[in-house]
Amino acid sequence: MRVVRYWSVSHAGAMQRVYRALDRLFIRIDPLLRVVGYQRLEAPFAAVERVLKGWFFDCRMCGHCVLQSTGMSCPMNCPKQLRNGPCGGVRADGTCELDPGMRCVWVEAVRGAARLPGGERIEVIQVPLDHRLAGQSAWLAELRQRAAA
């Protein structure tokens, strides 16, 4: 829902804190997760992620979450799915070139990033999306990586 999505961006800082708390929790229980097996956790994690992030961010389950670098505005809601910044067509009132009823996700991203510690990460160049990851849990992938490090 757009209203919720806009709300999440307005509260980007709080969103990030929740995110981090969850992150810490999962890292702490990593040994347990290992016992269960990351492979087996994929489906339930993805299901929870789809619901929660779907509600707050209109997440599209691209599988490679960049919310922390986009002020908590999900770039996959951009009709062009741009992950590196806005296109040149943003309307004067900040709405989308292709959908005048929607605020450009990148105008939102800039707004959210200003409220986020580490908001400068909006300047990081994102690599092209790996489309094989679609539908997979980005959380789990990230946890796995972090726990392994």
* Binding segment (CB under 6 A) for ligand SF4, from list 3-11, 54-62, 83-91, 133-141: 83-91
Contact 18, 8 (CB under 8 A): no
113 lies in the site for ligand SF4, by CB under 6 A: no
* Binding segment (CB under 6 A) for ligand SF4, from list 43-51, 61-69, 98-106, 113-121: 98-106
129 lies in the site for ligand SF4, by CB under 6 A: no
Q: What letter would DSSP give residue 95?
A: B
Query: Among 84, 133, 141, 147, which residue sits at the site for other proteins (rule: CB under 8 A)?
Result: 84
Question: What are the b/e assignments for 22-52, b being 16+ CB within 10 Å?
Answer: eeeebeeeeeebeeeebeebeeebbeebeee
Contact 38, 136 (CB under 8 A): no
Contact 61, 46 (CB under 8 A): yes
85 lies in the site for other proteins, by CB under 8 A: yes
For residue 54, the partner it binds in other proteins, ligand SF4, none, with Cβ less than 5 to 8 A by kind, is: none
**Site residues (CB under 8 A) for other proteins?**
79-94, 97-98, 104, 106-107, 110, 122-123, 125-129, 131
